[in-house]
């Protein structure tokens, strides 16, 4: 289990590495402050392709930071290397975090896999994702299982995906 000090060193590693491609910190009991620290450091690691932060205690602040990073990176001339974001089972991301993470996906050209299962995503968050899918061309795998999405949200997602041919995998189990 990680301590704030350990996560601080990992954030420094992320900030300085030019070779790190995969970072798995699932189930490390990461607290919100550490999650924010790690999320901010992700922006400084040009080679990171996968970040796995599932099953921690992350809040909307982490989603906000990741969303800002996606938005900033999308405006750069060269796309970022981050392809996979795994946030599964961080139930405190919820209502406020999902829209903050999903909106920047509209201009993102790199993220191909997003897992926010068990993150208390609601219809509001799902609608933000639907709006982003209109212009996003990279997102291929979307995992939304174990969330709080109503039938009308699923209908809107299906409509959005009709116009998003890149999607090859969709998981809505136990919504």
Residue 119's region, left for phi above 0, alpha for psi from -120 to 50, else beta, is: alpha
Residue carrying the six token digits 């900030």: 15
Reported as a single tens digit per residue, the pLDDT across 36-52 is 999 999 988 989 999 99
Q: Quote the pTM value.
A: 0.93
Model pLDDT for residues 4-48, shown as the tens digit of each residue: 899 999 999 999 999 999 999 999 999 999 999 999 999 889 899
CB atoms within 10 A of CB 71: 16
Model confidence at 95, in pLDDT bands (50, 70, 90)? Answer: confident
Q: Is-contact 98 59, C-beta < 8 A?
A: no
| pLDDT, average across residues 126-152 | 94
């Amino acid at each position: 289990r990680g301590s704030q000090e350990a996560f601080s060193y990992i954030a420094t590693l992320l900030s300085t590495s030019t070779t790190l491609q995969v970072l798995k910190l699932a189930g490390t009991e990461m607290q919100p402050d550490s999650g924010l620290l790690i999320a901010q450091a992700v922006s400084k690691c040009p080679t990171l392709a996968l970040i796995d932060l599932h099953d921690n205690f992350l809040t909307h602040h982490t989603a906000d930071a990741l969303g800002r990073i996606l938005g900033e990176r999308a405006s750069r001339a060269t796309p970022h290397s981050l392809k996979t974001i795994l946030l599964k089972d961080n139930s405190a991301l919820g209502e406020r975090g999902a829209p903050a993470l999903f909106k920047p996906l509209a201009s993102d050209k790199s993220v191909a896999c997003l897992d926010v299962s068990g993150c208390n995503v609601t219809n509001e968050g799902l609608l933000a994702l639907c709006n982003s899918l209109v212009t996003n061309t990279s997102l291929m795998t979307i995992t939304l299982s174990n969330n709080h999405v109503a039938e009308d949200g699923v209908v809107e997602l299906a409509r959005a995906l009709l116009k998003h041919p890149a999607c090859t995998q969709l998981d809505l189990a136990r919504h």
